[in-house]
Amino acid sequence: MSLVIYEKKGRIANITLNRPEKLNALNPELVNELAKTWVDFRDDEEVWVGILTGAGRAFCAGVDIASDLEMFEAMGSIRPTRVGSLLKEAPAFRASPASYEVSKPIIVAINGYCLGGGLWLALECDIRIAVESAQFGIPEPRLGMPATFTALFQHYIPRGVAYEMLITTDRLSAQRAYEVGLVNRIVSPEQLLPAATEMAEKICQQSPLAIRAVKELLQRGRDMSRPDAMSLTDHVIHNLMGTEDIMEGFKAFVEKRPPTWKGR
Amino acid sequence: MDYEDIIFEKEEGIATITLNRPERMNAYSPKMRFGIARAIEEAADDPEIRVLILTGAGDRGFCTGNDWVLQASQNPADAGLGERYRFSPLGWLAARVHRLDKPSIAAVNGVAAGGGFGLALSCDFRIASENARFGPVFIRRGLALDTGVAYFLPRLVGLPKALEICLSGDLLDAREAERIGLVNRVVPFDELMKEARSFAAKLTKQAPIAAQMTKRQIYRAQLLSLEETLEFETYLQQFCINSEDVKEGVAAFIEKRTPEFKGR
């Protein structure tokens, strides 16, 4: 049985973490499968938007403690192969689409517990939709360490709220997560995938190249100065000029008809 | 994996990429650019590989940058390399070479001009044959610099020299390049690969983790404050100190023998 279910329906790729008996905790096998999935999703030009969810009652309960323990014991033998933090070798980072330069939007359909490395995985995707019963938390300090993404977490929600979560390990309800901007909307369980799919379809109505340009600009522009960010934007728009889709977009607007996108 | 327009070989811990369009002085074809990027990825992921050598076929060109005769689009996506590269910077290859966490050597066998000059600069070391010549030459075509030349060159030769080289458009001969520190050493053409391989072989005998860390540390420190550098070195040193290689390094020192490092 595959630990990641990967199905493509038209322009949408559905990715399901499938280790429900362990609350979809990230063990090395699951992380490896997910890594392969992100690379395929990135390179398959037929699919434009991803929906990530979990099987069972959890979205993802974080890194599998047992395999994490092995990782820490093996810390001295980890061979870093990529520039940046050595923690990029940590499961929560290796599971993240950002580690594979995925520049297509990913919607996370959060169906239950969203904890530790699972929360980080959800944050590394783009849009979060959660069920009412979803819970968000960072339990790592109970194990004697801060979460590997602690320093980055304060950029996602107000710092005081982030700090409180990080040091009390109290979980946020879906409602509170919605209030602080951690999730975009809350839906009933039966509406979760339909709502995610509806949003994915809406995204597919836009030019896929423009959508990817937006993601690249948000990712690469995040830590840039204003003038650098402007140059980046200039360069990205320049690279869209002359594509078939941008011609189609302008033409369709003038001709008052819906555009047909090719992703070229 | 199959490669076109480059030859990729792995032998005794050394990966060698040979740009293989000697009739065009190894100017870039789109397939060559993509092949270099993929070969670097392969070298990065192969734990047996400790060093990368980049060189060109023939005795005329190392790499002369974009092949204008091909009239290939400057955008990697339009050149058939995949939409994932559409918004990449023009000189994206330089970052791929520079980010490799293993030492890289450019064995410069002829003219390194334009994007090929940038490619040579993105390596950690340059060993040149007597017939090698170096220059950005972008200005002769009415172009601004690319492939990271503006980043690498002032760091290697200082601002006044970098400005002179870039604004004059002149090619430097191998001896002048050696004099100003642009290349590490110059050897007769027939000895180039022997020299590059023997230097590479020396590097393969260093402790792999320490070699990666040292490279990362030196480049990163160019962008950091002293305090940040000290934080970073503490972090790296903690990581190294737990490795088997340090135990071996210390034991070999005490026992007055040559250490055998395993990269663990």
In a domain, B173, yes or no: yes
Which residues on B lie below 8 Å from A86 (Cβ)?
235, 239
**B146 close to B138: Cβ distance less than 8 angstroms:** yes
Q: Are residues B138 and B158 in the same domain?
A: yes
Cβ-defined contact of A79 to B239 (cutoff 8 Å)? no
In a domain, B36, yes or no: yes
**B58 close to B110: Cβ distance less than 8 angstroms:** yes
Angle between helix A226-240 and helix A208-221 axes, rounded to 10 deg: 160
Structural domain total, chain B: 2
Of B75, B82, B242, the CB nearest to A76: B242
Model pLDDT for residues A77-108, shown as the tens digit of each residue: 444 443 344 555 678 888 999 988 899 999 99
The closest of A39, A76, A60, A82 to B244, measured between CA atoms, is: A76
Which of A77, A234, A247 to probe by mutation at the B interface, max B CB count within 10 Å? A77
Cβ-defined contact of A81 to B209 (cutoff 8 Å)? no
Q: Distances from the Cα of A18 to the Cαs of A9, A10, A44, in angstroms?
A: 18, 22, 22
Q: Are residues B135 and B172 in the same domain?
A: yes
Token pair, residue B247, equals 């135990």
The CATH code of the domain that includes B147 is 3.90.226.10
Q: Are residues B150 and B38 in the same domain?
A: yes
Q: Are residues B189 and B112 in the same domain?
A: yes
CA distance to partner chain A, nearest, from residue B36 (Å): 17
Round to whole Å and give the CA distance between B96 and B102. Answer: 12
Burial class (CB in 10 A: 0-12, 13-18, 19+), B58: middle
The closest of B120, B94, B116, B122 to B107, measured between CA atoms, is: B120
**B172 close to B135: Cβ distance less than 8 angstroms:** yes
Round to whole Å and give the CA distance between A260 and A229. Answer: 30
| Shortest CA distance from A233: residue in chain B | B87
In a domain, B260, yes or no: no
* Pairing state between β B172-173 and B133-135: antiparallel
Q: Show the DSSP H helices in chain B as ranges.
A: 30-45, 92-99, 115-122, 149-157, 159-168, 174-179, 192-204, 208-221, 226-241, 244-254
Which residues on B lie below 8 Å from A243 (Cβ)?
86
DSSP per position, B79-133: III-GGGTTS-TTHHHHHHHH-SS-EEEEE-SEEETHHHHHHHHSSEEEEETT-E
Beta strands in A20-175 (DSSP E): 49-54, 58-60, 106-110, 113-115, 127-131, 135-137, 172-173
In a domain, B262, yes or no: no
Which residues on B lie below 8 Å from A209 (Cβ)?
83, 86
Of A76, A86, A235, the CB nearest to B243: A76
* Pairing state between β B104-108 and B51-56: parallel
Q: Are residues B139 and B245 in the same domain?
A: no
pLDDT, residue A192, reads 98
Angle between helix B208-221 and helix B244-254 axes, rounded to 10 deg: 110
**B184 close to B132: Cβ distance less than 8 angstroms:** no
Structure ipTM over 0.85, yes or no: no
Cβ-defined contact of A236 to B87 (cutoff 8 Å)? yes
B172 C-beta neighbours (distance < 10 Å), count: 22
| Shortest CA distance from B219: residue in chain A | A83
pLDDT, residue A28, reads 87
Model pLDDT for residues A141-171, shown as the tens digit of each residue: 998 889 989 999 999 999 999 999 999 999 9
A188 C-beta neighbours (distance < 10 Å), count: 11
In a domain, B183, yes or no: yes
In a domain, B263, yes or no: no
Cβ-defined contact of A82 to B44 (cutoff 8 Å)? yes
Q: Containing domain of residue B215, as a range?
A: 208-254
Token pair, residue B155, equals 């760091």
The closest of A102, A88, A83, A12 to A53, measured between CA atoms, is: A12
The CATH code of the domain that includes B234 is 1.10.12.10
Of B47, B242, B244, the CB nearest to A79: B47
Cβ-defined contact of B82 to A45 (cutoff 8 Å)? yes
In a domain, B32, yes or no: yes
Round to whole Å and give the CA distance between A61 and A57. Answer: 10
Q: Are residues B77 and B171 in the same domain?
A: yes
Bridge partners, A76 (sequence order)? none
Which residues on A lie below 8 Å from B47 (Cβ)?
79
Which residues on A lie below 8 Å from B264 (Cβ)?
76-77
Which residues on A lie below 8 Å from B208 (Cβ)?
79
Q: Are residues B232 and B167 in the same domain?
A: no
Q: Distances from the Cα of A55 to the Cαs of A7, A37, A121, B56, B244, in angstroms?
A: 14, 16, 15, 52, 41
* pLDDT mean by block of 10 residues, chain A; 264 residues: 94 97 93 94 94 97 76 49 51 87 96 96 97 96 89 93 95 97 97 98 95 93 91 91 91 94 89
| Shortest CA distance from B76: residue in chain A | A239
| Shortest CA distance from B238: residue in chain A | A76
Which residues on A lie below 8 Å from B212 (Cβ)?
80
**A63 close to A117: Cβ distance less than 8 angstroms:** yes
Which residues on B lie below 8 Å from A79 (Cβ)?
47, 208-209, 263
Q: Are residues B129 and B246 in the same domain?
A: no
Round to whole Å and give the CA distance between B124 and A107. Answer: 40
Q: What phi, psi does B156 have (nearest 5°)?
A: -90, -40
- Of B185, B204, B223, which residue sits at a domain end? B204
Which portions of chain B are predicted below pLDDT 70? 1
CA distance to partner chain A, nearest, from residue B141 (Å): 20
Q: Are residues B247 and B194 in the same domain?
A: no
pLDDT, residue B114, reads 95
Q: Are residues B200 and B77 in the same domain?
A: yes
Which residues on A lie below 8 Å from B80 (Cβ)?
none
Round to whole Å and give the CA distance between B49 and B191. Answer: 23
At residue B221, the 3 state secondary structure works out as helix
pLDDT, residue B120, reads 98
Of B84, B101, B239, the CB nearest to A83: B101
Q: Are residues B193 and B217 in the same domain?
A: no
Q: What phi, psi does B195 have (nearest 5°)?
A: -65, -45
The closest of B240, B13, B249, B51 to A77, measured between CA atoms, is: B240
In a domain, B64, yes or no: yes
Q: Are residues B125 and B169 in the same domain?
A: yes
CA distance to partner chain A, nearest, from residue B171 (Å): 29
